[in-house]
Structure 1
Amino acid sequence: MPQYKLSYFNLMGRAEPMRLMFAYAGVAYEDHRIEGQQWAELKPKTPNGQLPVLQIDGKEELSQSMAISHYLSKKFGLDGKDDWESAKVREAIETMSDVKQKLRVTEQDPEKKAAIVKALEHDTVEPYLARLAATLKKNGSGFLVGSKPTEIDFHLFHAFNYWQQSKQYTEALNKHSEIQTFLKKFENLPGIKSWLEKRPKTSM
């Protein structure tokens, strides 16, 4: 078994879907959490001057969160049972990435920002969640692709979990029973439940 070390800041952020994958797969790894003051020294030593970074056997290093995610999904059998399911997983991940890009808000004024977020919830989040709910209903397994969790489920769970905790887009989330069922099913999966109970408490 390879020795894994996942380095990221002491928060959930971009590394959390991969931590969830390790938990579900029951694979041991070093959850290396970097505090702010350590980052300046470590940054020049990383492949691209950014985190997360996955180190394997103390030698090979892989950066870029989605590259790490894809690698682990292949290693842990989370990329679908065949080429078609694998392609549908990639399709869903690319779609999610497009939506996340649209949700980036740089406005600092609280009132203007709130108005922008509300518009995004109506124009972008609600249609996206409606399509996801329809896909979940059609698939029938409780997961987005196939009969068991795949890479996209880990990213969806993390995003929706974050929205719930930060009280973002909760009105849209609560409209769809299929999504609420997905969240309940996922959080009670073996490995996931215990990780959620023990993971460090962070702001995001």
Structure 2
Amino acid sequence: MAHAHTWDEFEPVGMRYRILDKVALEDGRGLAAKDPLPEVLTPRCSKRMHVNPGHIMTPVGELSYFGVRGRAEPLRFILHYSGLAYTNRIVAGSEWGDMKAATPRGQLPIFLPEDEEEPICGTLEIAKFIAELSKVPGLMPTDTAASESAGKMFEVAMAEKVHEAFKALNILPAVEVEGKLSAIVAAAVKEIVPFSKQLTEGSYFGGAAPHYGDFALFYAVDILRVHDANVFETLGGSWKSWFDAMSKLSGIEAYLKSRPKANGGEVGFPGSRIATLPLDD
């Protein structure tokens, strides 16, 4: 049984979090969870040690993104699934203006690997880096066709139609998108449904185990199902089975329970659907 993931604030400025990822792995990787020794974290504490399944490790890097469920979400999925310790930095709008000029491409997310000076930019590039780093079997496809497909899944999940669904959830005022959700969801579904041919009942897009592309589509469907509880009637039963299996993966189930909740004051722009409605209930 997986332990809950906990998020401990160690630096109040900028909402930087250290994650205690105590996952009991039961998927054959041969690692067992152990509770950490009691720790007291003080403001501006530089300690970033992190408990992983069976061992303590230093965070592999810092992931920076805004306080929304957006482009960084599939990256968090991959990190939690992999059991990698990391620092999750939420960038406030008030600090982004100064930060943007110094950020490569002027975009988030960025991922700064531990002991490196230059961050990795671009959601797909970060996903590939984490997948390679994790060494989790199947996460980084070795087959050329599978690798291209995984990359395409990330491109589609970050592209315009799914991005419109993201904005309708996190950015735009709820009253503004009311009445438009059906069209927004339908347009996004049209973009992802062609991947159906790669999915058979009870499997992942990566085959016997998910590859990094699975987590991009999981992010997309996670948003769409919040907008429309009946979205699986359009996508089909194999998508529902896949989504349920993804939700119960080691690390993912715990992350879904621990991430900031809708209508909890910690995610989404003021007035947005995720900021004002109990969508996670």
2: distance between equivalents of 1:58 and 1:85?
30
Given that 1:3 and 1:58 are in contact with CA atoms closer than 8 Å, whether structure 2 keeps it comes out as no
Q: 2:44 aligns to what?
A: none
Q: 1:148 aligns to what?
A: 209
Q: Which runs of 5+ in 2 are unaligned?
A: 1-57, 262-266, 269-273, 275-281
Higher helix share: 1
Q: 1:132 aligns to what?
A: 195
**Once the 2 structures are TM-superposed, how far is the Cα of residue 127 of structure 1 from its aligned partner?**
4.8
Give the counterpart letter for 2:90 in structure 1: R
1:191–1:172 Cα change, 3 Å:
closer
1: distance between equivalents of 2:177 and 2:116?
47
Q: 2:151 aligns to what?
A: 90
1:79–1:171 Cα change, 3 Å:
same
Instruction: Report matched runs for 1:30-179 at 5 Å.
Output: 30-56=87-113, 57-77=115-135, 78-94=139-155, 96=157, 100-102=159-161, 114=179, 118=182, 124-125=187-188, 127-128=190-191, 130-137=193-200, 140-165=201-226, 167-168=227-228, 170-175=229-234, 176-179=236-239
2: distance between equivalents of 1:9 and 1:112?
21
Q: Confirm or deny that 1:23 pairs with 2:80.
A: yes
1:29–1:104 Cα change, 3 Å:
closer
Give the counterpart letter for 2:121 in structure 1: S
Please tell me whether Structure 1 or Structure 2 has the larger radius of gyration of its CA atoms: 2
Instruction: Render the CA deviation track for 1:66-113: whole Å, top value 9, x for unaligned.
Output: 22122222323422243342233234444555xx4356669x9x8999
Instruction: Render the CA deviation track for 1:28-72: whole Å, top value 9, x for unaligned.
Output: 000011111121222122112221111012423111222212222
Given that 1:80 and 1:146 are in contact with CA atoms closer than 8 Å, whether structure 2 keeps it comes out as no
1:49–1:131 Cα change, 3 Å:
closer
Give the counterpart letter for 1:193 in structure 2: E
1:80–1:39 Cα change, 3 Å:
same
Q: Provide the alpha-carbon RMSD of the alignment.
A: 2.9
Greater relative contact order: 1 or 2 (C-alpha under 8 angstroms, separation 6 or more)?
1
Given that 2:59 and 2:84 are in contact with CA atoms closer than 8 Å, whether structure 1 keeps it comes out as no
1: distance between equivalents of 2:163 and 2:70?
14
- TM-score w.r.t. structure 2 length? 0.59
Instruction: Render the CA deviation track for 1:152-195: whole Å, top value 9, x for unaligned.
Output: 11011111111122x15x54433311111111100100000111
Q: Confirm or deny that 1:194 pairs with 2:254.
A: yes
1: distance between equivalents of 2:106 and 2:80?
27
3-state SS, counterpart of residue 142 of structure 1: coil
